[in-house]
Each structure stands twice: as C-alpha cells, then as structure tokens.
C-alpha cells in the first residue's frame, strides 16, 4: 500500500485538481481511497460530484467549571492563551467555548480542582464513493480554532482501513501550518504542486523547507507549466535535491471539467507515481 500526499505552499496551484485526477485514474485498475484533508475548505467532493454521507462527529474536550469549588482566584484566565476564559479575581469565570482548544492549562493551574471536562462538536467526517473510488473527507465546524484535530481523526480512519487499498491519496490544505503537517505525517510519498511564477516559487520553497524539517523527500509538479518561468522552479528543485516529475500545460478541457464537477483527465498523470 502506498500513501501519496498532494500538497503545496500556496492555494490555487491545482493541488485538488492533481489529487482528484490521480486518484480517479488509479481507481480504474486499483483499489484507491481519496482523502480530502483540507478540512477548513474541503472541495474534492465537488470536483468529482460525490454525495458525502456523514460518518462521525468529531468532539473536542472543553473545561466545565464547578462553581462550588471555584474560589474566583482568576488564575485560569491568566493561563488561557486563546482567551477562551475571562476570569477576573473575585468574579465567576466567563467561558467562550468557541475559542477553546482544549489545551488543559486551566485544569493544571486550578489548585482547588474546580475544573472538570465536558466536550463540544468541532466538525464532521464524511464518506462517499465515485465509481470504484472510495472517498473520505473532514470538515471543521465554523468558528472552531483547531483544524488539525479533524485531520487526526481522518488519520485514524486511514489507519483502520488502509489494508483495504492499494493507494491512498491525501489532498492536504495549502501552507505549512499544523493541519498540513498532520496530513503529511503518514505519507510515504509527497508531491508538491506549484506554478512557474514568483509567488509559486516562494511558497514552494516554504513547503520544501517543511519537508526537509520532517525528513521527508518530495517531488514537484508544475501546473500551468507553459505560463511563466519554469527556470525558477528548476533552481529550487536543484537547491533542495528533489526533481520535477510532471508538467501540466494550461488546458481549457481541465477548466471545463472543473466547472462541471466531472473527473478531470490529465494525460499521463499516472507517470508521477513511477
């Protein structure tokens, strides 16, 4: 079983286009799971016209205040880095649960053991299918701060079911923040999608630096390769001792499929996994 993560330093480079096309083509001859790990803004199901079905709700712990034990000391508010607790000495703490990340600092600081644990819903995991392609998706609830928790639950589902597949394709969020790191952790092959522009090169370098810190090797796909300057991407490939494995020229056919929610066909896309 091979797990391939499709990632990129910036949004709009064609990451989801590559992930959905690669997964769909592989599914014609292999057992494939496509995972949309861009949980802040999942859209792979739209590109493939997949109807998602609710698999499970993701919960996160939040503090519950025992006001009988609470001495109104104000310490819990002082240690809350997300400002989810407003606690003024002599007054009952005010809890803003949407800002809470469940870190537990408030429980640790409370000498009177006046903080217990409750939970809140922070997102959902979905499952779907397109022909022979299985699909898994996570979505963070609006106004919740910790999207990597949703990705961690996706990773749990992957771990439980990975023996059923020949390939697992993970479409990560853009950038190098925590949910991207969580999505990349278990991949044994990583492909960064970029474009031959100064912005594309700048953000590609950021993702290559991240992979270097994670001790993972990456490959590069240049999307819209006939628009811009490919030399700047080649220089980065040499600098980080990686290689450009595929180039996708600008195509109106891709745009038309994208707008219709039809599987996108990229000629010879399967060559990226060889």
Calculate mean pLDDT across residues 233-237.
96
Q: Tell the CATH superfamily of the 2-58+124-273 domain.
A: P-loop containing nucleotide triphosphate hydrolases (3.40.50.300)
d(CA 90, CA 191): 55
Q: Which of 17, 19, 6, 12 is nearest to 199 (CA)?
A: 12
Reported confidence tier of residue 258, pLDDT bands at 50, 70, 90: confident
How far apart (Å, rounded) are the C-alpha atoms in residues 274 and 272? 6
CA distance 256 to 190: 27
Tokens of 99: 């800002």
Averaged confidence pLDDT in the chain: 94
Q: Higher confidence at residue 252 or residue 6?
A: 6
Confidence class of residue 124 from pLDDT cuts 50, 70 and 90?
A: very high
149 close to 123: Cβ distance less than 8 angstroms: yes
Q: List where CATH 3.30.70 sits in the chain.
A: 67-113
Relative to beta strand 133-140, strand 115-130 is antiparallel
pLDDT at residue 253 in the model: 83
Q: So what's the pLDDT on residue 123?
A: 97
21-185-210 Cα angle (round to 5): 90
Domain range 67-113, CATH architecture: 2-Layer Sandwich (3.30)
Q: Is the pLDDT of residue 99 over 80?
A: yes
Indicate if the pLDDT at residue 138 is higher than 90. Answer: yes
Establish how many alpha carbons lie within 13 A of residue 137's alpha carbon, considering only the half-sphere containing its beta carbon. 23
pLDDT band at 9 (very low <50, low <70, confident <90, very high): confident
Query: Is residue 117 over pLDDT 80?
Result: yes
What is the rounded average pLDDT of the residues 206-211?
95
Q: Which helix (H) or strand (E) holds 21?
A: helix 15-26
264 and 258 in contact (C-beta within 8 Å)? Answer: yes
The predicted pLDDT at position 263 comes to 84
3-class DSSP string for 196-237: CCHHHHHHHHHHHHHHHHCCCCEEEEEECCCCCCCHHHHHHH
Instruction: Tell me the C-alpha distance between 138 and 41, whole Å.
Output: 9
Look up residue 176 and give its two tokens: 């190098």
Asked whether the whole model's pTM tops 0.85, one would answer yes
Give the angle 186-188-189 at the CA atoms, nearest 5°: 125
Identify the band that residue 10 occupies on the pLDDT scale cut at 50, 70 and 90: confident
β pairing state of 133-140 and 32-36: parallel
**Average pLDDT value for residue range 254-273:** 85
Query: Are the beta carbons of 122 and 59 closer than 8 angstroms?
Result: yes
Find out whether 167 and 24 touch, Cβ atoms under 8 Å: no
CA atoms lying within 13 Å on the CB side of residue 62: 18
Residue in the structure block whose two tokens are 């022909």: 131
The DSSP code for 155 is H
- Residue 171 and residue 35 in contact, taking contact as beta carbons nearer than 8 Å: yes
The segment(s) of the chain belonging to CATH 3.40.50.300 are: 2-58+124-273
């Amino acid at each position: 079983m091979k797990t391939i993560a499709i990632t990129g330093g910036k949004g709009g480079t064609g990451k989801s286009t590559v992930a959905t096309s690669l997964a769909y083509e592989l599914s014609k001859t292999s057992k494939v799971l496509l995972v949309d790990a861009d949980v802040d803004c999942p859209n792979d199901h739209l590109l493939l016209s997949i109807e998602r079905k609710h698999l499970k709700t993701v919960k996160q712990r939040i503090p519950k205040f025992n006001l009988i034990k609470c001495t109104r000391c104000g310490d819990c508010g002082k240690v809350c880095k997300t400002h989810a607790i407003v606690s003024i000495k002599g007054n009952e703490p005010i809890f803003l649960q949407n800002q809470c990340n469940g870190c537990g600092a408030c429980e640790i600081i409370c000498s009177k053991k006046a903080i217990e644990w409750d939970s809140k819903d922070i997102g959902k995991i979905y499952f779907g299918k397109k022909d022979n392609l299985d699909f898994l998706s996570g979505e963070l609830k609006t106004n919740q701060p910790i999207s990597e928790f949703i990705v961690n639950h996706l990773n749990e589902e992957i771990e439980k079911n990975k023996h059923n597949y020949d390939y697992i394709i993970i479409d990560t969020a853009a950038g190098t923040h925590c949910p991207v790191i969580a999505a990349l952790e278990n991949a044994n092959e990583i492909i960064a999608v970029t474009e031959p522009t100064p912005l594309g090169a700048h953000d590609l370098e950021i993702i290559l630096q991240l992979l270097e810190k994670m001790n993972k090797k990456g490959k590069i796909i240049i999307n819209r390769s006939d628009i811009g300057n490919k030399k700047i991407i080649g220089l980065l490939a040499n600098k980080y001792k990686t290689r450009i494995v595929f180039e996708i020229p600008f195509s109106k056919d891709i745009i038309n499929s994208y707008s219709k929610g039809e599987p996108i066909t990229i000629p010879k896309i399967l060559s990226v996994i060889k």
